[in-house]
Structure 1
Amino acid sequence: MQLKEDKLNESEKRYGTAQIEIQVASVLMHAWSEVEHDLAYKPFSGQLSESEYAILDELNGLVLSGEIALERLQSAVKERISKQNSGFRNHYELSAFLYDVIKHQFPNTSNEPIMGRADILLEFLKLAELNEPKHIEGYISELDYDTEKRPISEQLVDRILATNSELSSVYQQVRIARDKKNPYNSSEENRILLGNDTNAIGFFITCWSIFERTLREVARYKGMNSRFIVTSSFLSELNIFPEEMLYQINTIRMVKNRFIHEGTLSENPSELINYGNMLLEILRFIASHSPTDENLSKIVNSNLSKIQDISVIN
């Protein structure tokens, strides 16, 4: 291939006519080629002997055999999972299954998907009684390969929680338990500081759950996918928020994501309560500024009526 000349600066234009070779290799083959290149093309002490070349050939054969064995192993795991209704036995099986499904959904994407904490995802699926391919296929089919560059495991959890917010506490239990076993985890201090702020956290998460559920119902009413997770693109697509409100919602959304997936919050209790009340005010604004769409106002007001008891927190 060749580089496009309009993409090159002045100092690089001399490469515009050069033919460039792109090599695609597995990690195993890359490791082998590094060793072979250094020995065969950059000998430190003279020309390689016949014996050394023979050993390099043997290593090359072992690497090729290893690649074939890995492909067979992956195929065997996928075949076993597809033929049985039992759950994933470990996070390796879960990761292999997700990788395979995602690659089939996005065949034209060359980048490797970022899996994230598959171990946390597996424990969550077990406790949520969703630890079988048939239980998560619906959520997987809605995954977006490039949703804000977030790991696949977090996207899957978000979609599950979007349809069943009661599982949020289950996910938090799993994440905290796993983080405690991680010697490199740095969020423990923040989690301890939050220990006495459970009322503010509970209020904030409850308001977010109601807010997200309202948006799902609005999306269903508008004929959109009602099982989405709240992202910048979906908020814009709903077409019910002024520009300044989109900024506020995205700010609150990032706070929610940090707490759900990382267990950390830099906000104090009063800020969390303020964010919760802000979500309620946004819903009230939508209800009051949709006079020509009674159904939309009815959806929003119906959800607002369910949280009158908690909306008095200030």
Structure 2
Amino acid sequence: MAVIDDFLEDYERQFDFWDASARIARGLLESALASSGLRAIVTSRAKSVDRLSVKLHARNRDMAYRSVAQIKKDIVDLAGVRVALYFPGQMDEAEQVIRTTLDVQHDKRFPPDRASTGPKVGTPDPLILLGEQAASPGETAHVHRFSGYGARHFRVLIPDSRLTTGQDRYASALVEVQMASVLMHAWSEVEHDLVYKPLGGELSSSEYALLDQLNGLVLAGEIALEQLQKAGDARVSMADTPFRDHYELAEFLRSRLSDRGVNVTDSTLGQVDALFDYLSTEESATASIVESYLDSLERDFEHRPVADQLADLMLSGDESRYKAYLRAMETSRHPSNLRRTTTASLRANAPRTLALGEFVTAWVLLETLLKDILEVDKARLPPLPVLFRQLAARELITSEEDAELRIMRDLRNRVIHGGAADVTPESLRESAAWLRHLTRTIELKVDGR
């Protein structure tokens, strides 16, 4: 059909664009999932021309394509990313990572009768559905006993903030992200290729029954994976030997927070890899040390992830600890740190680097003063809002200074945890000057001058 041939010729010319779009989305998700301590295999592809041709001719029987524009509107999986999770019990948390990293336009859960948290997409490819199949003459249609394909699909755009210089054109590419367990992805590939691309005619009822049995084994395997995850959590939580990697630290945090009634799947743990690297340099990457901070966490994990809060509690006004944590942040796998470093970029960023150092130093001096004048544990500081309330109660800061100090705290959190890329060096230097002035003002009030 001429309209399909025209679309395929156009797609062949744009194949590199779609392939690059998928690779960029894959890299961002792979880094974000790893940074959060979620084990997954992330792959990407641009749809092959041959497979696309087969799909278009099959869909044309129902769609009756009349224009290239109609095909473009119908086919939305030219660029695809597959997320295969080791542990299906981490699906909710992984979804939050996807939503935080990419701009989700639509989502769909399978089986389709499960509730979805966002707008629905159109009817998916047949590969994601298991229904009753038409029987061959003389045979009875096979009725599936299991739920079939279990996954979550997202159609996403790559945010401009995630793209580097020269990648702006990929912001318009719609990418489909398919997330399921490693076992479910394997089963869906077998099921799809046998049922919807048969080379030797339609499958028999016996073959459908065998596929259904395999689906049951996959579902049982997912239950086993969830039990394996829980067993690993228990092992890591009981041991007082150093965590082997940031994945073990993440499992420990999930287990311990769950014991405290915290549902971490509603948000994410944050950059656990940076926290682990910092703890390792401080020789503090053990369950007993980390657990001692957990009861001091604020429950606002959606805005302040667990890893960020733990790091804040551990830094405790110690400049050497701040520097160690900032070094760990620089090597984090998180997408916000995936920027290519060149001589030109280092030269351009030199004023910003100096301003960041000036701001951090001013903040540390303020924290050090707070430890000296307030009745707190010298080894660690309570959450900063607690200290601010103590300052206000002792009339060491005015209400206006209190409000400004909370703004400075938000800036400090962005600086330390990698979210201050849009703050100019001038703003950082002005903020540092204000902090130094406030520190001196508090000192004078304490001395009675």
Structure 1-normalised TM-score?
0.66
How do residues 226-241 of structure 1 correspond to structure 2 at under 5 angstroms?
Answer: 227-231=381-385, 235-236=388-389, 238-239=391-392, 240=395, 241=397
Residue 206 of structure 1: CA displacement?
1.2
Matching of residue 105 in structure 1 with residue 260 in structure 2? yes
Residue 284 of structure 2 is aligned with which of 113, 121, 130? 130
Which residue matches 1:213?
Answer: 368
- The separation in 1 between residues aligned to 2:290 and 2:90, in whole angstroms, is 30
Unpaired runs of 5+ residues, structure 1, are 1-24, 290-296, 302-314
Matching of residue 91 in structure 1 with residue 182 in structure 2? no
Which residue matches 1:120?
Answer: 274
- The separation in 2 between residues aligned to 1:48 and 1:121, in whole angstroms, is 55
- The separation in 1 between residues aligned to 2:389 and 2:340, in whole angstroms, is 33
How do residues 283-298 of structure 1 correspond to structure 2 at under 5 angstroms?
Answer: 283-288=439-444, 297-298=446-447
How do residues 19-34 of structure 1 correspond to structure 2 at under 5 angstroms?
Answer: 33-34=111-112
| CA pair 216-191 structure 1, distance change in 2 beyond 3 A | farther
Which residue matches 2:130?
Answer: 39
- The separation in 2 between residues aligned to 1:286 and 1:191, in whole angstroms, is 37
- The separation in 2 between residues aligned to 1:257 and 1:190, in whole angstroms, is 24
- The separation in 2 between residues aligned to 1:183 and 1:114, in whole angstroms, is 15
Quick check: 164-173 or 76-85, which moved more?
76-85
| CA pair 212-254 structure 1, distance change in 2 beyond 3 A | same
Query: Is the CA contact 1:102–1:145 (under 8 Å) kept in the aligned structure 2?
Result: no
Which residue matches 2:190?
Answer: none
Which residue matches 1:49?
Answer: 142
Which residue matches 1:195?
Answer: 350
Query: Is the CA contact 2:239–2:287 (under 8 Å) kept in the aligned structure 1?
Result: no
- The separation in 1 between residues aligned to 2:441 and 2:357, in whole angstroms, is 23
- The separation in 1 between residues aligned to 2:261 and 2:110, in whole angstroms, is 30
Which residue matches 1:80?
Answer: 235
Q: Which structure is richer in relative contact order (CA contacts within 8 A, separation 6 or more)?
A: 2
Residue 246 of structure 1 is aligned with which of 402, 422, 436? 402
- The separation in 2 between residues aligned to 1:187 and 1:260, in whole angstroms, is 20
Unpaired runs of 5+ residues, structure 2, are 1-87, 93-107, 115-127, 144-204
How do residues 137-148 of structure 1 correspond to structure 2 at under 5 angstroms?
Answer: 137-146=291-300
Residue 96 of structure 1: CA displacement?
0.6
Helix, strand or coil at the partner of 1:178 = coil
Select the structure that is richer in strand.
2
Aligned length in residues: 261
Helix, strand or coil at the partner of 2:350 = coil
Structure 2-normalised TM-score?
0.48
Quick check: 109-118 or 137-146, which moved more?
109-118
Query: Is the CA contact 1:203–1:276 (under 8 Å) kept in the aligned structure 2?
Result: yes
Q: Which amino acid aligns with 2:388?
A: L
Residue 82 of structure 1: CA displacement?
3.7
Query: Is the CA contact 2:237–2:252 (under 8 Å) kept in the aligned structure 1?
Result: no
| CA pair 163-85 structure 1, distance change in 2 beyond 3 A | farther
- The separation in 2 between residues aligned to 1:204 and 1:27, in whole angstroms, is 38
Which residue matches 1:185?
Answer: 338
Which residue matches 2:69?
Answer: none
How do residues 237-276 of structure 1 correspond to structure 2 at under 5 angstroms?
Answer: 238-239=391-392, 240=395, 241-262=397-418, 264-276=420-432
Which residue matches 2:359?
Answer: 204
Residue 64 of structure 1: CA displacement?
3.1
Q: Which amino acid aligns with 1:33?
A: P
Determine what percentage of the aligned residue pairs are the same residue: 21
